[in-house]
C-alpha cells in the first residue's frame, strides 16, 4: 500500500473510526455508572472522554517516514482513533481498567502499563500512562447506524490529572523527539524529578483519601441508607447536595445500625410523611435531600435537641415541624 492508497482508505473510513471511538467512550462511561450508581461521572472524569482521530500527516509519518517495520501499515497502526480518560488518582484508573477488561464488546490488550514499568525499572521516573488497544469483538452497529467491522482498533489511554499535565508539557518535546535531536541532560533530569514528585503526590493523595474515607464512614453509610429508603419509599431518586454532609456530621451519634429500622418504622407509622415529601419534591429543595428523612425522625422524637444542634438555618428545619404539627422550638 502506497501513500495515495493509504489516504484514500483513511478518507473512506475516517467517520467510521470516529463513530467507533464515540461508541467506546460511551460504553466505558456507561459501565462505570452501572458498576457504581453513586458515581458522579462528571466529577470522576476530569476531562470529557472525546474521541480523537489521528491527523492525516501524523498517520502518514508513522506509516511511511519513521522507520516503522510495518508490512501493512494501515492495518497495523492501531491508534487511528483514540479516547483518553483522565481521573484524579491512580486508584481511579484501576476502576476503568476493570471495565475495559471485562467488556464482551471488544477484545482488550494492554499496550502500555506504567505499573509494570515501575516494577521492572524502579529507579527510573519517566512518562506514565496506561494504554489499551481494544478491537471490536464482532461486527456491530452504533446508535447512529454506523457499522463497525470486527477487529476495528481503538486506543484507550488512562491517566491521572497530574500525569496528563506532565504529558502535555513534555511528551512531544522529550519522548517523541525526532532522530538527530538531543535534549540537555539537565532538562531530562528535571523532567524525571517532576515525574518522581507526581508519583509521591499521588501516593500522598491516596493515603489522605483512605484516611478521610475511614473517618467519614458513618456519614457515608448513613447517607446511602437514607438515599436507598428515599428511593424505595418515595419512588424518586433524591439529590445528594453537600448539605447532607453537614446534617449527618451534626447528628453522627444518631447514625447507628438501627437507623434503617427507625426510619422505616416512622414511615410505616406515619405514611403521610412520604406523601408530603413526594408532593413537595419538585418545588422545595429540602424535600429532594435524603437528610429530610432523618430530620423528620429526629424532629418527632427530640424536637428541642434537634433544633438546637441543627447545622443549617432554621428555614430548612421549620417546614418539617410544620408538617409534623409540632411547634418549632425557640433556639437562643
User: Residue 63: which of 50, 79, 47 has the closest Cα?
Assistant: 79
Handedness of CA 318, 324, 325, 330 (dihedral sign): negative
* Cα dihedral: 181, 187, 193, 198 (round 10): -70
- Grid cell of 215 as nine digits: 473517618
Q: Which residue has the higher pLDDT, 128 or 191?
A: 191
Q: How far apart are CA 317 and CA 323, in angstroms?
A: 10
Helix, strand, coil % in the chain, rounded to nearest 5: 60, 10, 30
Per-residue buried b or exposed e for 151-180, using 16+ beta carbons within 10 Å of the residue's own CB: ebbbbbbbbbbbbbebbeebeeebeeeeee
How many Cβ atoms sit within 10 Å of the Cβ of residue 276?
19
- Give the residue from 254, 253, 251 showing the smallest Cα distance to 309: 251
Can you tell me the mean pLDDT for 55-70? Answer: 87
Q: Tell me, what's the pLDDT at 209? A: 80
Q: Look at residue 196 and tell me whether its pLDDT is greater than 60.
A: yes
**Res 183: pLDDT:** 55
Cα–Cα distance list, 117 to 43, 127, 289 (Å): 29, 10, 46
Q: Are 135 and 153 in contact (CB under 8 A)?
A: yes
d(CA 202, CA 112): 19
Query: In this predicted structure, what is the pLDDT of residue 123?
Result: 43
**Least confident interval from 31-35, 62-66, 241-245:** 62-66
pLDDT at 296 over 90: yes
pLDDT for 124 equals: 45
| Whether residue 134 has pLDDT greater than 60 | yes
130-136 and 140-141 strand pairing: unpaired
Side-by-side strand order, sheet with 52-53? 52-53, 81-87, 153-160, 130-136, 106-112
Question: In whole angstroms, how far apart are CA 112 and each of 97, 123, 140, 215?
Answer: 12, 18, 27, 36
Mutual orientation of helices 291-301 and 259-269 as an angle, nearest 10°?
70
Instruction: Decide which of 2 and 294 is more confident.
Output: 294
pLDDT of residue 120: 55
Element containing residue 89 per DSSP (H, E): none
Which residue, 22, 25, 10, is CA-closest to 74?
Answer: 10
The predicted model gives 105-118 an average pLDDT of 74
Q: Which three cell numbers stand for residue 276?
A: 408530603
- Report helix, strand or coil for 238: coil
> What average pLDDT does this structure show over 300-316?
92
Rounded CA separation 86/158 (Å): 6
Say what the pLDDT of residue 125 is.
46
Q: Is the pLDDT of residue 167 over 90?
A: no
What is the rounded radius of gyration, in angstroms, for the C-alpha atoms of the chain? 27
**CA 251 to chain CA centroid, nearest Å:** 30
Amino acid at each position: 500500500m502506497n501513500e495515495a492508497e493509504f489516504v484514500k482508505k483513511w478518507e473512506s473510513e475516517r467517520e467510521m473510526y470516529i463513530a467507533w471511538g464515540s461508541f467506546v467512550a460511551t460504553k466505558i462511561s456507561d459501565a462505570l455508572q452501572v458498576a457504581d450508581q453513586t458515581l458522579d461521572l462528571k466529577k470522576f472524569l476530569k476531562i470529557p472522554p472525546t474521541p480523537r482521530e489521528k491527523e492525516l500527516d501524523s498517520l502518514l509519518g508513522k506509516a511511511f517516514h519513521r522507520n516503522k517495520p510495518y508490512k501493512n501499515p494501515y492495518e497495523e497502526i492501531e491508534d487511528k482513533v483514540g479516547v483518553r480518560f483522565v481521573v484524579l488518582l491512580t486508584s481511579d484508573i484501576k476502576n476503568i481498567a476493570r471495565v475495559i477488561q471485562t467488556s464482551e464488546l471488544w477484545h482488550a490488550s494492554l499496550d502500555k502499563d506504567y505499573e509494570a514499568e515501575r516494577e521492572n525499572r524502579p529507579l527510573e521516573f519517566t512518562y506514565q500512562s496506561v494504554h489499551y488497544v481494544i478491537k471490536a469483538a464482532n461486527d456491530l452497529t452504533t446508535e447512529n447506524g454506523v457499522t463497525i467491522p470486527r477487529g476495528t482498533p481503538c486506543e484507550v489511554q488512562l491517566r491521572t490529572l497530574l500525569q496528563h499535565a506532565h504529558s502535555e508539557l513534555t511528551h512531544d518535546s522529550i519522548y517523541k523527539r525526532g532522530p538527530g535531536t538531543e535534549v540537555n541532560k539537565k532538562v531530562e533530569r528535571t523532567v524525571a524529578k517532576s515525574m518522581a514528585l507526581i508519583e509521591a503526590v499521588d501516593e500522598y493523595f491516596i493515603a489522605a483519601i483512605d484516611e478521610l474515607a475511614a473517618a467519614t464512614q458513618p456519614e457515608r453509610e448513613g447517607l446511602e441508607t437514607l438515599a436507598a429508603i428515599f428511593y424505595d419509599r418515595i419512588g424518586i431518586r433524591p439529590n445528594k447536595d453537600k448539605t447532607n454532609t453537614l446534617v449527618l456530621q451534626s447528628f453522627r451519634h444518631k447514625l447507628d445500625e438501627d437507623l434503617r429500622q427507625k426510619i422505616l418504622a416512622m414511615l410505616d407509622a406515619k405514611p403521610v410523611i412520604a406523601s408530603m415529601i413526594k408532593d413537595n419534591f419538585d418545588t422545595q429543595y429540602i424535600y429532594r435531600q435524603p437528610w429530610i428523612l432523618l430530620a423528620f425522625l429526629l424532629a418527632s422524637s427530640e424536637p428541642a435537641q434537634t433544633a438546637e444542634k441543627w447545622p443549617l438555618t432554621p428555614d430548612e428545619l421549620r417546614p418539617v415541624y410544620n408538617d409534623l404539627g409540632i411547634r418549632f422550638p425557640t433556639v437562643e
